Amino acid sequence: MDVVPERVLEYLTEVEEAAEDVLTTRQQIVDLDMKRNGNREALNALKNEMSGSEKVKVCLGNMFIKFPKSKTREMIQKDQEQLDKEINELRTALKAKVNRLNEMQGKPELRGYNLSPLSTDEVRAIDRLLKR
């Protein structure tokens, strides 16, 4: 059985593209997570601010605008929710991409990679069972 060099090159190109896609998705997750951490810091700073002013300066693009604290907190929380949603979607997509890459390379599927954390209701139910 003779392996055609064009087919080998095509296979390597496909594997490289799949690996690059995995790396790009991972970098997107890291970037969004850094933004989410910045938002968390901003929410904490709003919570801990002691000044009597009800307005705070917010940087939007390349300018600062005074906004009411409540409106600012609301905007940041909405952004946090959107970031959480995007990160979760990217993580789900990443799992599929990693499995596809492993399949292309002839490696077995990762075990335990498709696990998801317990919900708060499930944790409470387990706590109740263990306290008995």
What CATH number is given to the structural domain containing 22? 1.10.287.370
For residues 88 and 29, what is the distance between their CA atoms, to the nearest angstrom?
Answer: 9
> Collapsing DSSP states into helix, strand and coil, what is residue 21?
helix
Containing structural domain, residue 106? 5-131
- Token pair of 101, please? 């890459």
Q: What is the mean pLDDT of the chain?
A: 88
Total tally of structural domains belonging to the chain: 1
Of the pLDDT bands very low, low, confident and very high (cuts 50, 70, 90), residue 89 is very high
In this prediction, residue 126 carries a pLDDT of 92
CA 19/CA 98 separation, integer angstroms: 8
What does the pLDDT look like over 93-104, one tens digit per residue?
Answer: 998 899 899 988
104 backbone dihedrals φ, ψ, rounded to 5°? -65, -35
